[in-house]
Amino acid sequence: MRAACTHRAGNDFLNKPVVVSEGTLNEPVIVDDASPALKASAAGPAYIVLAGISFSHFLNDTMQSLIASVYPILKDSYALDFAQIGLITLAFQFTASLLQPLVGHFTDKKAQPFSLAIGMSSTFFGLLLLSVAHQYLVILIAAALIGLGSAVFHPESARIARLASGGRYGFAQSVFQLGGSFGTSMGPVLAALIVVPFGQPSIAWFSSIAFLAIVVLWKIGRWYQPQIRAKNTTTFAPHPDAPSRRRVLLALAVLVVLLFSKQLYVSSLSSYYIFYLIDRFGVSTQAAQLYLFVFLAANAVGAFFGGPLGDRFGRKIVIWFSIVGALPFTLALPYAGLAASAVLTVFIGLIISSTTSSIIVFAQELVPHRFGMISGVFFGVAFGIGGLGAALLGKLADHTSIAFVYQVCSFLPAIGLLAVFLPKMRQGAH
């Protein structure tokens, strides 16, 4: 949501273009062309930085996805019920949900270029603790430490992806999301190949992945450090094309609800799909993890294409398609056979995951210059909803059945109809 105007005079000093962009809600702030954002936009995307932050996201989410992937092992080893399994997810995602907006708000005011590498250390120690945990409380603490690493990672890395986008915000967000989605899909495969045969202590081997991520993020921090701008002190002035404050707040609330419908459904598959396949079709744990990988891999592909499609056709169109378009397939899943279930989860993953980048970039465009806080709120809400939803769904499964949980969750994408309340953004904003 930017409009550029050039002041022309006989003096080159006065010929500098000035870009007007929104500040908090509908208040724009004036920034001159010496800003790093404008220079980055003129130079195009910084592909090496995008690749590095996406690779780091891959490593981060690979480690995080191990938690859900080892649930069958923990359940059998410690005689846990589904509600206790859900509480492990809640412990992991609650720390991320609670802290991400706070981290984003803080880094909006004072960016911390090396916070990503430091935060990854929490994931490093969380994995080591999970590998040696022999009590349920220790497992919860380990999961919370891994969630803390996520809380630090996501807001600032999303800001770096936008800074390196060269103006292709949807594309950059999709590249960033691709790493995370692909990392999430690798968790079940690695669990099937390593953790299941070698047991809980083998989780410690994955701490080497955390160490590699620390090294990569430290190098990205060195690139990021000179890009950080001093706090802008120019005067705020309303932009005539900006939505009203009330309209912006309504749109943000709708985006949060849309993310709720998407993330809760994905959480139901990520946390309990393995148990669903074992219970209904009698497949082995390793085979069920491979079926989960199929869904999560489709999720990764959909997440990548969603951002560029939003850049091209508009984010509101992508949001409509990705959430409501998945509804026929989610409604059919509880009644499908094993092979048909695998095919349906591919379509569900491809369609429903394409909305994530569009939702986040849409929110960033509604509240510019609060990228860290907005990214933290939306990533945090996603984690929090996933954790709370996993706990509630586990409780529901204990009192009914896993099959009934999927019948209930199949209606969640219908909440996407609320996208009708999103404002129509100017084409230039997309």
CA atoms within 13 A on the CB side of 377: 18
Distance, in Å, from the CA atom of 74 to the CA atom of 39, rounded to the nearest integer, reads 50
| Residue reference for tokens 């603790």 | 129
Residue 343 lies in a domain: yes
- Is 397 inside any structural domain? yes
Give the pLDDT confidence score for residue 16 in this predicted structure.
36
Measured distance CA(205)–CA(355) in Å, rounded: 34
Identify residue 295 by its one-letter amino acid code: F
- Domain annotation covers residue 2: no
Rounded to two decimals, the pTM is 0.65
Crossing angle of the two packed helices 169-190 and 355-366, in degrees rounded to 10: 140
**399 found inside a domain:** yes
CATH number of the domain within which 287 lies:
1.20.1250.20
Across the chain, which has 430 residues, the per-10-residue mean pLDDT values are 39 35 41 43 70 89 79 84 83 78 76 81 90 90 89 82 81 82 78 82 87 90 73 43 77 86 83 88 88 86 81 84 87 94 93 84 78 74 70 85 88 86 63
In a domain, 369, yes or no: yes
Q: State whether residue 35 is helix, strand or coil.
A: coil
Q: Which two tokens stand for residue 5?
A: 């105007």
CA atoms within 13 A on the CB side of 180: 21
Alpha carbon distance 344, 326 (integer Å): 10
Task: For residue 205, give Cα distances in angstroms to 35, 66, 125.
Answer: 43, 12, 12
Return d(Cα 87, Cα 75) in angstroms, integer.
Answer: 12
Ramachandran category for residue 25: left, alpha or beta (phi over 0 → left; psi -120 to 50 → alpha): left
Total structural domains within the chain:
1
pLDDT at position 428, please?
44
Measured between alpha carbons, how far apart are the two ends of the chain, in Å? 8
Q: The dihedral of CA 178, 184, 189, 195: what is its sign?
A: positive
Helix (H, G, I), strand (E, B) or coil at 374: helix
pLDDT of residue 241: 56
Q: What pLDDT was estimated at residue 421?
A: 85
Closest residue by Cα to residue 93 from 414, 392, 345: 392
The reported pLDDT for the residue numbered 167 is 78
Residue whose entry in the numeric block shows the structure tokens 């569900």 = 348
Residue 242 lies in a domain: yes
d(CA 196, CA 265): 26
8 Å CB contact between 128 and 207 = yes
Q: Is residue 271 part of a domain?
A: yes
State whether residue 114 is helix, strand or coil.
Answer: coil
DSSP letter at 30 equals: E
Instruction: Give the pLDDT score at 119.
Output: 85
- 1 belongs to a structural domain: no
Domain that holds residue 264: 7-429
Structure tokens at 330: 């989610």
